[in-house]
Amino acid sequence: MKITIIGGGIVGMALALQCHRRNIECDVFEAAPEIRELGVGITLLPHATRELALLGVGNKIEALGIENRESRFYNRFGQLIYSEPRGRFAGYDSPERGVHRGQLHMCLYEAAREALGDRIHTGMKCVTVDQTADQAIAHFADPDSGEPRGTAEADLLIACDGVNSTVRRHFYPDDEIVFTGINTWRGTTRRKPILDGQTYLRVGSIRTGKMVIYPIIDDIDGSGDQLINWMAEIETENVSRNDWNQKGNIEDFLPIYKDWTFDWLNVRELIETADQILEYPMVDKDPVKQWTFGRITFAGDAAHPMYPRGSNGSAQGLIDARVLADLLTSRPPVEALKAYEDERLEKTGKVVETNRSHPPDFINIRVEELTGDQPFENLDDYISQAELKEMSDRYKAIAGFSLKT
């Protein structure tokens, strides 16, 4: 069996490694001219670090980033709403880690390059696909000039080319990203550890201004400072969407956080002293009813692009790769793709919908509603810790990392 993988991101590299471990021949085609360390922070939940360990890169991942001990939810007045242990500190066999996305990607790329050698091809933008009774065919062009760069033929083609997947658009030409008015800005700041230096923080809500904050690199400058990853989110009433992965303008969002000075963190200072600020729209896509078309299927963000809430996009993509590779070893090629869709499509669709309607930070929104967006004296007068825990556990169950299951 021979497989063409379109896209050399995290899921594409993971799928290549899964195939290699099962002696399945594959080639990876990436549009970018070179694989580089890009992006900011990403959180690897226990089911994500488990998948990476099964890939054989667990020890390398353990050397990256910072292990989370606790998750804390605060209102925009700096009052603690709810906290819970995370990862191994919550009883999971695998840790939860905050890492730099670029470092994670490079770790997988280097492992895949060692395994596949010259079968990773860069500067190859897939422009269309087709298939015959026994082959899937990808057509490529130079990403800059548009000049044709040949074709690749294989038994199967797996689209791992992200939220703007060319392959998915071939089958869904009217497919569009969904923007519901939430804009985000991401940044990294060097500073002393916040709280114990191993805590994942959600502060405020998207309705009045929200911040997600967690460390991703320890002792980055030799003086004990950490690299802190943060994301600002705000819901707007208009449909104006900010640019994608562009340099952000601090004045577009800093006024929301100008008075966020708590005894445990000065949020305004965190933003103003950032090394970099990038802007993104909060987007996903509506779940589709079919991923597999004969000898072609989707994986990762090409299959189920979801809001970057709950730290679950990469985890679901890594699970896609392992489930698909397992099925390819036990069933005929076309049958394996259909079985993969049957196993993964409905489950990931539920995560997409839950990330929209009841993500983990719904806890913050609910408390804001109950308290009238005012400081509280006793939160138990409005909602119990047991109720908040139930909300958190409900998300974990849908997202596939309930401790019980």
Per-residue pLDDT of the chain (405 residues; tens, 9 = 90+): 999 999 999 999 999 999 999 999 999 999 999 998 888 899 999 999 999 999 999 899 888 899 999 999 999 999 999 999 999 999 999 999 999 999 999 999 999 999 999 999 999 999 999 999 999 999 999 999 999 999 999 999 999 999 999 999 999 999 988 887 888 999 999 999 999 999 999 999 988 999 999 999 999 988 999 999 999 998 877 656 666 668 889 999 999 999 999 999 999 999 999 999 998 888 888 999 999 999 999 999 999 998 877 678 899 999 999 999 999 999 999 999 999 999 999 999 988 888 777 777 889 999 999 999 999 999 999 999 999 999 999 888 887 788 887
Query: What are the start-end ranges of the E strands in 52-135?
Result: 66-67, 70-74, 80-85, 97-100, 120-121, 125-131
Task: Report the SS3 class of residue 89.
Answer: helix
Q: Residue 392 gets which letter from DSSP?
A: H
Cα 65 to the chain's mean position, in Å?
16
- Give me the CATH topology for the region 2-38+102-177+288-357: FAD/NAD(P)-binding domain (3.50.50)
Return d(Cα 401, Cα 36) in angstroms, integer: 30
Task: Report the SS3 class of residue 338.
Answer: helix
Q: Closest by alpha carbon to 349, among 311, 304, 315?
A: 304
Helix (H) or strand (E) holding 41: strand 41-44
- Would you kindly state where each structural domain of the chain is located, as residue ranges? 2-38+102-177+288-357
Joined together, the tokens standing for residue 376 give 């509280």
Return d(Cα 49, Cα 295) in angstroms, integer: 30
Torsion of CA 354, 355, 356, 358, to 10 degrees: 60
Joined together, the tokens standing for residue 352 give 């997409």
CB atoms within 10 A of CB 321: 26
Query: What are the start-end ranges of the E strands in 132-268?
Result: 136-141, 148-154, 156-159, 178-191, 199-205, 209-217, 226-235, 246-247
CB atoms within 10 A of CB 245: 11
Return d(Cα 99, Cα 200) in angstroms, integer: 12
Q: Contact at 8 Å (CB) between 96 and 2?
A: no
Return d(Cα 127, Cα 170) in angstroms, integer: 9
Return d(Cα 40, Cα 286) in angstroms, integer: 26
Q: Contact at 8 Å (CB) between 152 and 125?
A: no
